[in-house]
Structure 1
Amino acid sequence: MEGCYEGCMHRLEDVPPPTDREAYSWGNRDHWSWSSIPSTLPFNVYQMLSIAVHPEGGGRTLFVSVEGGGASDPWTEGKGDGYLDVFGEDTPSRTYSYDIESGKWTGYCEWGLPFFGQVHYDKELDAWVGLHKAHGYLDGYISSCDIISPTESPAQPAWKFCTERLFDPHTEAMRLYRDTHVPASLAYMGDSTYCLVEVVPQERFKRRRSPSTGSKCMIRLSMFQLKYGKNGELRTTAHRPNRSYLFPKYNEGFQVQAFWM
């Protein structure tokens, strides 16, 4: 949109209500303001693997792990073309940091966080938690990772696997959708409570690619808590019965992103 072909950043913030009587009378009572951030991304948006916010300073530092390089990549300055590289097992991951107050991107380190998608800070575990990735794709596990410093570039942090595999990314349903969108999303609800949201087929779903599957797909929610065991292992507890919801229309471009308010 408007020159943001490689990705742009936007800000949604709560602002004071309008004081002008005419603006109020015309229905402009919304306190929320949506605006763009004039900051050029040092990578192509399609290269993003995971996003994490540092808990210190009110969340002023954002970390983004990507795969491949770009035109403004500080490690390949003047060599990148800004286009999506060919990803694979041998493609290096890199992590960038963004300071919200200064509006500047920094090449943080030449390794990536072990997550795919949104990363959540769990206060009880004092760690980042998210869906684990293997070679750039979901592998069905959840992992936790030590918080990294926003000012120093340390060695790759320690991370832990959850002992239970929550879903199988190699099922037919996952293979159908992995090329167009991520079929699973993790929402954090506080107090180490999480909700896994998946797009799954019904039993009569045909094993073939279709531009529209109608009511043959459903959304499945799985709620649980995460705790560290006696030996420091990450494990799930307090499982609640899964709940599934039908929705009437579905196509390959549809994505489910879960968040908690």
Structure 2
Amino acid sequence: MLHGFSRTTLSALIIICLLLISWINLGWKDEEQQPLPALQQPPLAAAGWQFWQSLEGVGVYLRSAGDVNGGYLALRTTSAVYTLKLPATDWAENLKQQLPGNLKGGPALLLIAGPWDELSQKTMAAYVIRSLNLQPLEPLSGSLPACIQEHLAGALWLTQALLPASALQPAHAWATLYSLPDSLDMLISPDTQTRTADPTRSAWAEWRLEQARLLRQSWQDDRDQIDIQADLAYYRLPEDLYRQLYHQLGQSQKTAPAELLHCLSATRPQREPSQH
């Protein structure tokens, strides 16, 4: 049938057929299984926190921030963060009036971010510590499981499945991130696993883009920075964990939640069989 074609023509036909087959195969590839391209996102600059410990042993984090309108002083307790807005000048009387008396004698961590120089910030901290007779706040013991540190994007997705409100405030999701292994039974149950661990490609693409935007926005906000640093310190999280999460989001794929669950399940201690 092809006897009348020259060798050159036959070679050209073969090449065309191979290209056609390749094009057909590419066209039939399931788009759902195609990897997402990495997000083009600006890096997060260093926050610039400095740690200082008072004579009473209370930890204090200092940061140059704010503007002519002032800045913030916050107290991190075991249950909440109390944030005070202070003016750039004449802050002493304002601070005195705002001191939360219900914290007197309790443990706390201080965070100060504003336009004041280092000496002024330390003076503020010393005044608050002595006025409230604050005690050192002991961070939580333990460390973040390696599985979560390696799969931060999947961890954030799963924490929001457990606590949807955290989707609005990604800077405050650390407590749930920290306790995620304790929720493993619920996460891997048939009723919730499909909903939590198997997002579609488009859903993941939209989610990671929005989360990266929110994380960047919180990082650049002076008040949110206080909440982020307070949680990092209290939960003994690596100082660069927030930026790691931001970076991992940009590289992540829709399989991230399932990969985290697999890792947590594989490293979970085996339960002893019940004795009857």
Fold shared, TM-score > 0.5 on shorter chain: no
TM-score, structure 1 normalization: 0.21
Larger helix fraction of residues: 2
Larger strand fraction of residues: 1
